[in-house]
Chain A
């Protein structure tokens, strides 16, 4: 439930609870006022009638639906007034008016008289009806106004909150964010707090990233040194035992520099250093890479089935295209078995590589993590698929893996934006002709 709805409901609830009370007070006040006014009037009528009687002029003059009667009393009672209110003068519970009767006890010409005047006033039910009617309208209006204006108000007041939320939603560890200005105290506090938090995250991320980048960068030179010295050492007169040790060192250095290279590459991609500016013929990349691996396919005697569509152009950095294909095909060969099979399908929308091989030992979702590898191939660095995943992220491709015995299936779905269709290709070609 939205904040504004909660507030509105609460407000309406308050109104609904208070309205009956105020209506009751209203009814009482109106009745009392009417009664008071009428009683005062009837008293004056009584006085005037008594005055006429004293003068001896005619008395019973009906006036304003009220009439005055004189009743001779043996003695004067203690109080000088008596007021009666009869809510149901017709006696059928349907009276629209109540009868108000005021009796004044006074001495007229030495005799005790009860001067009584009656008059009709609206029944309290009538007044109640009128009040209820009004209240209904009032409630309706208030609820409507509250509901509508609250929306606008919340739109206005919560606008900054919404902006802040949007900023947080799009928060990227790579750059700091500035929050919108606001004059609401709570939002100010929230923004200050969020700013502190996000800035800190960005700073720490940058520091960590820079450390790893610098580390891998600085490692290059010592690696080159060790490699060179080992090569020079292997030229000297060494015996078999030393040769084996040297070979192991070579091996370790090689692995180290591969890991390093891959890590540098990954961080480069994270830094978006491979902006996509050009479009390349991916089908050609696939062909070239296949050609490069020919000798290795031959050695394992792997049968290759190709389904490469022609003229498939993608917006992808050429280096990345090359690496993507290299890594995928390299994997398909490395994890393959002797006399195995690889099936490559390249369509306008996807690239699928199916290959035979031993069943996987790691769950598929972990395959794309860094340094994750199956034990069948402890020689590999374990960054190949991490690089594939990163390339796919950079290019907005979707990559997925599944195992359907006996085939490992790796699929890359190109995003529609990066596929250059025929019409666009024609445009490029004509443009090329024009520029030529």
Chain B
């Protein structure tokens, strides 16, 4: 997947870049409105990560520009403005999804993947990894074709892990992904633990490999090299 990151903060841009490159994506950076415009005209990208607040223009303008030029890339809007109207304007202006700073990189990644699936893989809703198959439409997960009896939250968790395989996922990032930002659930990491435990049990019960590792002190990791 080829991604353009339009972000004026060099540190954030480089963090995203490092993260995505490790994922095997081709990732280009643009630090300003003009630079982004130029790159969008010259090359084509599968996805654009777009910061709304740019020093020399508004990201929403860039959305308009993409529409006019008929650029088909998926767009994930990044913004420090946690404002409702910004969100709505961004999504109405052609953004596919929206994430607010500060975000977790795996969360950004999961959303990017979702946009990519909807846009590029012509809405393919089947994700497979070895013996695990996830259907994002029906929210069904199966191991070797055997349907797992899992809850919505467990499905989301498994999807999050698979999309971010081989990455350490902090409990915070998992909690935020599953329950959103509104809930002040810092104290509730035991919930994450509980969900992971249940998920592992259910995968083992269906004779799936135990891919989920606990990384001491940090969180969890979907270890793809386990067989």
8 Å CB contact of A228 from B15, B100, B185: B15
Chain B residues closer than 8 Å to A254, beta-carbon distance: 172, 186
CB nearest neighbor in B for A378:
B187
Is residue A251 contacting chain B, with contact meaning CB distance below 8 A?
yes
Is residue B195 contacting chain A, with contact meaning CB distance below 8 A?
yes
Interface residue tally on A, bucketed by range: 35 or more
In contact, A221 and B19 (Cβ under 8 angstroms): no
Cβ of B121 to closest chain A Cβ, rounded Å = 26
In contact, B9 and A225 (Cβ under 8 angstroms): yes
Chain B residues closer than 8 Å to A257, beta-carbon distance: 102
Give CA–CA (A315, B159) in the complex, Å. 37
CB nearest neighbor in A for B173:
A231
Cβ of A273 to closest chain B Cβ, rounded Å = 7
List B residues 176-206 near A (Cβ within 8 Å).
Answer: 179, 181-188, 190-191, 194-195
1/0 contact string of A215-230 vs chain B (CB within 8 Å):
0010011011111110
Interface residue tally on B, bucketed by range: 35 or more
1/0 contact string of A239-282 vs chain B (CB within 8 Å):
01001101100110111011001001100100001100000000
Is residue B137 contacting chain A, with contact meaning CB distance below 8 A?
no
Is residue A1 contacting chain B, with contact meaning CB distance below 8 A?
no
Is residue A139 contacting chain B, with contact meaning CB distance below 8 A?
no
Is residue A347 contacting chain B, with contact meaning CB distance below 8 A?
no
Knowing A231-B170, A254-B172, A254-B186, say if A243 contacts B216 (CB, 8 Å).
yes
Cβ of B59 to closest chain A Cβ, rounded Å = 15
In contact, B18 and A232 (Cβ under 8 angstroms): yes
In contact, A243 and B15 (Cβ under 8 angstroms): no
Is residue A296 contacting chain B, with contact meaning CB distance below 8 A?
yes
In contact, B184 and A258 (Cβ under 8 angstroms): yes
CB nearest neighbor in A for B194:
A299
CB nearest neighbor in A for B153:
A295
In contact, A296 and B105 (Cβ under 8 angstroms): no
In contact, B194 and A334 (Cβ under 8 angstroms): no
Chain A residues closer than 8 Å to B15, beta-carbon distance: 225, 228-229, 231-232
Is residue A319 contacting chain B, with contact meaning CB distance below 8 A?
yes
Give CA–CA (A246, B173) in the complex, Å. 14
In contact, A379 and B187 (Cβ under 8 angstroms): yes
Chain B residues closer than 8 Å to A357, beta-carbon distance: none
In contact, A377 and B217 (Cβ under 8 angstroms): no
List A residues 14-69 near B (Cβ within 8 Å).
Answer: none
Is residue B129 contacting chain A, with contact meaning CB distance below 8 A?
no
Chain B residues closer than 8 Å to A208, beta-carbon distance: none
Give CA–CA (A243, B214) in the complex, Å. 12
Give CA–CA (A383, B182) in the complex, Å. 11
In contact, A221 and B80 (Cβ under 8 angstroms): yes
Give CA–CA (A257, B11) in the complex, Å. 17
In contact, B102 and A223 (Cβ under 8 angstroms): yes
Chain B residues closer than 8 Å to A220, beta-carbon distance: 80, 100-102
CB nearest neighbor in A for B105:
A231
Knowing A243-B217, A379-B186, say if A228 contacts B191 (CB, 8 Å).
no
- Known pairs A226-B102, A228-B12, A261-B181. 10 more at Cβ < 8 A? A220-B100, A223-B101, A231-B104, A240-B217, A273-B84, A296-B185, A299-B190, A317-B84, A330-B184, A334-B188
Q: Identify the A interface with B (CB < 8 A).
A: 217, 220-221, 223-229, 231-232, 234-235, 240, 243-244, 246-247, 250-251, 253-255, 257-258, 261, 264-265, 268, 273-274, 292, 295-296, 299, 317, 319, 322-323, 326-327, 330, 334, 377, 379-381, 383-384
